[in-house]
Structures are given as structure tokens and as C-alpha cells.
Amino acid sequence: MSVPMAGRTIRLIGLDPGLTHTGWGVVESQNDRLRFVASGRVSPPGAGGLADRLDALYRELQGILEAQEPAAAAVEETVVNVNPGSSLKLGHARGVVLLAAAHAGLAVHEYAAKTVKRALVGTGGADKSQVAAMVRRLLPTAGTLSADASDALAVALCHAHHAQTTARLRTRTML
């Protein structure tokens, strides 16, 4: 697990997979301080076959990862939908997201939606508006965010929180 060292600034990218829109958000974490870096979403063209859409998603993510130079990636786990076809397509997009991060040489950390909600709001049952409000509060310089970018930043913030907690625990056990 990639864990921020005391005093060291770590750049993290959060990714919220989707075939229509994949959100991404980059934060820097140093001790208890968080700084917004960038965010956006990748929207592969709706026309064309599934393979073409997945290829476009992969290529755009490669460019983002190269430009942003994160040290680690945090990815939201797939929520199973009632429609199995939708779940399968989301799984394809998620696979591409994981592959792009792995090919960039990043440590990839996966978080369930409830874990992300709990880390930001304090309860796994929080709704999207509560999570978005906490993202805006923790990253006030982020400005107006799409829902996809906000979700991706939430995943990055969740990882920053978990990594800091892990670093503190490791430091205490070494004493």
C-alpha cells in the first residue's frame, strides 16, 4: 500500500468508472492538509462499438495520468445494478480504468461506495448531495464540479484519509 510519509506531499487521483462518463479528480495530501489540483470527466463517444468506446476511454485516461503524474490511484468499486447488462458494461469500463492506472505504474486502491461515504460524511448511507457538499467543503478551490468529478474527488479524499490513518498507525507501532 502506498502511504504518505510525514511531511511529504503525495498526489492522488480518484477515478469513478463509467462507460458514458468516467470522473477523475486529483488532490495533493500532506499530513492533514488537502489541496485540489484538477478534475474532470472522460466521455467516450456514444457512437461506435463497445471496443471503440473502451479504447477512447483508455487513451484519454493515459493522457490524464501522464499529465497529472499521481503517485497512487483510488478507484470506486462497481455497484451492481438491477440491469445485468448495465452492470456488465460498467464492469468493462472499470476494467479499463484499473488497467490504465496499472499501466501507468500506480498502486491502485479500491473502495466500496459505502466506505467513501463513511470517510467523507461519517455514514455509509449518505446520499450523493451530502458527499458532494463535503467535497466542496474540503476542497473549496475546486469550483463547480460535475457529479462524476465530484465522485472521483470523493474517492481520492477517502484514500487520502485511509493512507494518513495507516501512516499514523505504522508510526505508533514503531515506537
Look at residue 6 in the predicted model and tell me its pLDDT: 56
In the chain, which residues have pLDDT < 70?
1-7, 80-81, 165-175
Query: Does domain 10-174 match CATH 3.40.50.2300?
Result: no
Catalytic residue among 28, 60, 148, 151: 148
Model pLDDT for residues 14-23, shown as the tens digit of each residue: 999 998 999 9
Nearest-angstrom CA–CA distance, 74 and 72? 7
Look at residue 89 in the predicted model and tell me its pLDDT: 83
Q: What is the pTM of this model?
A: 0.90
* Residue 146 backbone phi and psi in degrees, to 5: -70, 160
Catalytic residue among 52, 76, 110, 127: 76
Model pLDDT for residues 70-83, shown as the tens digit of each residue: 999 999 987 766 77
**76 has catalytic annotation:** yes
Domain boundaries, the chain: 10-174
